[in-house]
Structure 1
Amino acid sequence: MNVTVEVAGEDTHELSVDDDATYADLLGPLDLSPHEVSVLVGDQTVPTDQPVEADRVRVVRLIKGG
């Protein structure tokens, strides 16, 4: 399956993943951790342990600080 991954404010990547891939599997090639981002399909956040069902996702980095 081919998936377009847009990292908000950065680049867009075309990834090829196995049919049983999870949304977390999309993050590894981008050097991103599920703990530092949210993955969105459309306008909805999806759990990173769920199987990939969309051909286009958006990744938003979370901000932390004090």
Structure 2
Amino acid sequence: MNVSVEVVGEGTHDLTLPDPTYADLLSELDLSPHEVSVMVEGQPVPEDQPVEAERVRVLRLIKGG
């Protein structure tokens, strides 16, 4: 499956993986599911869900103090 993954503020990556989950996409980009939220059409999706969208946005979660 071909998926365009936009890491907000960092660029877009075109990935090709067979039957990926959203966690697989994050792994390919060396991102931890604990540090990001995966969004499809503006809605968060669980990382263990199979990818059904051609375009995905990844938002890094920010910690502050």
With the length of structure 1 as denominator, give the TM-score of the two structures.
0.93
Shift of 1:29: 1.7
How large is the Cα RMSD of the aligned pairs? 0.7
Which residue does 1:45 correspond to in 2? 44
Instruction: Give the gaps of 5 or more residues in structure 2.
Output: none
Percent of pairs identical after alignment? 74
Instruction: Give the gaps of 5 or more residues in structure 1.
Output: none
Question: Would you say 1:2 and 2:2 are equivalent positions?
Answer: yes
Aligned length: 65
Which residue does 2:13 correspond to in 1? 13
- Write the distance in 2 (CA, Å) between the matches of 1:17 and 1:38: 20
- 4+ long deviations beyond 2 Å: none
The one-letter amino acid paired with 1:51 is: P
Shift of 1:65: 2.5
1:10-64 CA deviation, whole Å, 9 max, x = no partner? 1100000112x11010011211000000000011000001000101000000001
- Write the distance in 2 (CA, Å) between the matches of 1:64 and 1:24: 21
Secondary structure of 1:54 counterpart: coil
